[in-house]
Structure formats: structure tokens, C-alpha cells
Structure 1
Amino acid sequence: MTVELKVAGMTCGHCVKAVTEAIRAKDPAAKVEVVLAEGLVRAETALPRAAVAAAVEEEGYKVAA
């Protein structure tokens, strides 16, 4: 399943790495794409949207509803 999230506060490569690693910690097989300019995180994962959003928020980023 593909999950797309609008995420506020991502500005650099460290943000990309942090978000990617947070999602992959919950689903090691996830394919994660982060588009900084759009504040977009797209993940192909077996996780439900809520779990992906929680992983991103645990890193300190705000996920839009």
C-alpha cells in the first residue's frame, strides 16, 4: 500500500534520513520517498497510515490531518 503524508518541518538531508529511518524501523521493507520542497513523504509499506504518521511524529515532525 502507498501512504502519502504532508509533513511540516522537514528542511534538509538530515530530516530525510530521520523520517526514512523512522518508517523503516517499523517496516524494514518499506520504500520511502521524501520530497522536501513539497513537504511530502510517500511510503510503499505494509503499515497503515496511522502507524507511518506516528513514526514520523515520533521524530518531531508535524503530520497534517
Structure 2
Amino acid sequence: MITFDVKDMTCGHCIKTITQAVLAVDPQADVQIDLPSHRVQIESASAVAELSQAIVQAGYSPVVTTGEPAISAPAKKAGGCCCH
């Protein structure tokens, strides 16, 4: 299980966007998201960096909290959630 902390995830739209981004990388992934704690847990055969990059490209700033050494996302690009 890979866990990301995604502080800029704020609403249901964010959950849907991140889930779709992960499933585009691995359609068999099990994605569990806890919005109040800003936690995204993914069970996947894909590499952590690949999943992190998909979330970044969706407009968010994931930080790995388990699974492998922490990888901070680059500065957030324009886009992401409509709420912030």
C-alpha cells in the first residue's frame, strides 16, 4: 500500500480527479481516499514515482508518507481543483 498526503485535495471533485488519474496509470489499482485527513492510499503494481507523477499532472501536490522514501511534488501547476 502506497500512501500519499495531498494537502491541496479539498472536495469530492478532487477525489474524482485523483482517482481517475491513478486509474489511468493502473486500471486495476485500489484507490482509497480520506478527504478529512488528505490521505490517498493506493494498492497498485505501478511505481510510486509513476503514481505520484499522475497526481501531479492532475494538478495536485502529493507527498509520499509510506512505501518508499518521501518524494515531494514539484511546485503546483495551474489547474487542479476548482475550489482553490
- TM-score, normalising length from structure 2? 0.72
Aligned counterparts of 1:63 and 1:23: Cα–Cα separation in 2: 12
Q: CA RMSD in A?
A: 0.8
2:55 alignment counterpart? 56
2:77 alignment counterpart? none
Unaligned residue ranges in structure 2 (runs of 5+): 64-71, 73-84
User: Based on CA coordinates, which of the two structures has the bigger radius of gyration?
Assistant: 2
Q: Tell me the amino acid that sits aligned with residue 61 of structure 2.
A: K
1:5 alignment counterpart? 4
What is the aligned length? 64
The structure where helix makes up a greater share of residues is 1
Unaligned residue ranges in structure 1 (runs of 5+): none
The structure where strand makes up a greater share of residues is 1
Task: Using CA pairs under 8 Å that are at least 6 residues apart, name the structure with larger relative contact order, 1 or 2.
Answer: 1
